[in-house]
Each structure stands twice: as C-alpha cells, then as structure tokens.
Amino acid sequence: MGKGPGLYSDIGKKARDLLFKDYHSDQKFTVTTYSPTGVAITSTGIKRDGLFMADVNTQLKNKNVTTDIKVDTDSNLFTTITVNEPAPGLKTIFSFRVPDQRSGKVEVQYVHDYAGISTSVGLTANPIVNFSGVLGSDVLAIGSELSYDTKIGEFTKYNAGVNFTKADLVASLTMTDKGDSLNASYYHIVNPLKNTAFGAEVTHSFSTNKNTLTLGSQHALDPLTTVKARINNSGKAHALIQHEWRPKSFFTISGEVDTKSFEESAKIGLGLALKP
C-alpha cells in the first residue's frame, strides 16, 4: 500500500485496471529491447480495420531525467521529458509533438503524505489549464480535477471523487462529465497468493437515465500465467489469458462474445520485452 493519498488519477485505478487493462480490440505486436547502457527501444505495430500502424519509441535515462522520443508512421514526432524528484515529492513533465506547434505542455506533480497535486498548462497563447488535487491519507482520499480553456473562458471539465483503501479492498465514487455521470467502483482481493481479485463498476448517466454495470475478475493459474474475464449489462463478455514467457515479456490473447446476438469477434494481442 502506498503512502499518502496519491494523485487524482489513482482514484478508482485498481478497479479500472482489473476491468479494462490488457483487453486488446486489435491485433497488436510490441517488442522492447534494452542496450547495455540502459537505452530502451520499443517498436509497436497495430492492425486496425485492415490498416497497419506502427511507431518506434526510444527511452533514455540519465540520473533523474527520462526522455522518451517516439516516431510513428504518420511522421509525427512525440517527445516527453520527465524530471523525477528535483525536490522531494516533485515531478516535472514536458511534452510536445512535431509538427503540431500547439501541442507543447508542461505538467508539475507533487505528492505529499497528506496531499497530491497535479497541474499542467499548454504552451500556447490561449492554453488549456488542468488542475487536480487530492487530500487525505493512504486510507481515505478526496479530490477533484478541473480543466479551463482560456480561449473561450470556460471550464471544460470538472470532476470530483473519493477513494477508500484497505489492505484487501479499494472502493471509489466519482462524479464526471460535468456532474452528469456518477461512477462507483469496487476492487476486492480474494486470494493474494493466487492474485485472485474481483471488481465491479456501475455508472449512472443523469441525462439519459441509463445505468452501465461491469463485473470482472482475475486469477493466476501459476506465477507466470493470469486469466481475466468481464461482462457488462449489455451482454458483452470478454476474457483473456496472459503468459509471461520470460521476464518483462508477455503473450496475451483476448476475445469478446456478444451473448445477446451470439456474434463472436476475436482480438489477439502480443506483447514482448526482450533483454539482451
């Protein structure tokens, strides 16, 4: 269990990862190699709707500075520079994309035993300013996040949430979509030795008066193989099996079944991380 309330993005993260992480909807292939000097090069290919997209990411680390440079098949250059701990609890992130001159952004994160703050601002004449803050402890955290568009002079996002954490469970309640959606999630560790966990998420939309319920679970067949499954109230069921065939190298197969129409579509993903 981490110390302090963390950041706003940590609220409900355990349940989201259990219910949605690693489920691939496309064919995906990723290979990561590490040089003796610690440089990491990741190549990713995705086949989506008959189209193939790829990118290459290079990560360099020098003391507390991490630089990520990514080039994709559309000739876009993405650069992210992260400075960890220039001061205790502080992290600074600078990112931009070429040729988009309006994509530059600076983000500052500060994590304390009783607070977590993150703020970012776009490097443009009329930037979008984002702010999130959390107060509390590693047991109970209450926070909110805001986005303000200086060009139109309006708040484009304002959300709030609360997170309750114990040794074997995490429960959260968030208000999103400018107060239009209420989301409640729950994550429970049933068997720590087998990494067996259960999660649930229910979302209510006030504008449409509709509810969405998603249930999911995971279980480790052995120390290297994990299975996950989820189903929602629309009748769509998903399942995956993930095997770590060598350190930091994963092979994942996921599938989807629409139980109401009995239509099947398989999604296959392959993730590899190779160390020389």
Return the CATH number at 44.
2.40.160.10
State the number of CA atoms in the 13 A half-sphere of 227 facing the CB. Answer: 6
Residue 142 lies in a domain: yes
Residue 263 lies in a domain: yes
Helix, strand or coil, per DSSP, at residue 208: coil
pLDDT of 260 over the 80 cut: no
What span, in angstroms and rounded, lies between the C-alpha atoms of 174 and 197? 21
Residue 187 lies in a domain: yes
Residue 120 lies in a domain: yes
Q: For residue 161, give its domain range.
A: 6-272
Residue 1 lies in a domain: no
Q: Which residue has better confidence, 276 or 136? A: 136
Residue 64 lies in a domain: yes
pLDDT of 240 over the 80 cut: yes
Q: What is the pLDDT of residue 257?
A: 86
What span, in angstroms and rounded, lies between the C-alpha atoms of 258 and 152? 42
pLDDT (tens digit per residue) in 113-144: 999 999 999 998 899 999 999 999 999 999 99
172 contacts 156 by C-beta, under 8 angstroms: no
Residue 240 lies in a domain: yes
Counting the structural domains of the chain, the total is 1
Q: What is the pLDDT of residue 267?
A: 47
Measured on CA atoms in the order 203, 205, 206, 208, is the torsion positive or negative? Answer: negative
Alpha helices, DSSP H, located in the chain: 13-20
What span, in angstroms and rounded, lies between the C-alpha atoms of 97 and 210? 38
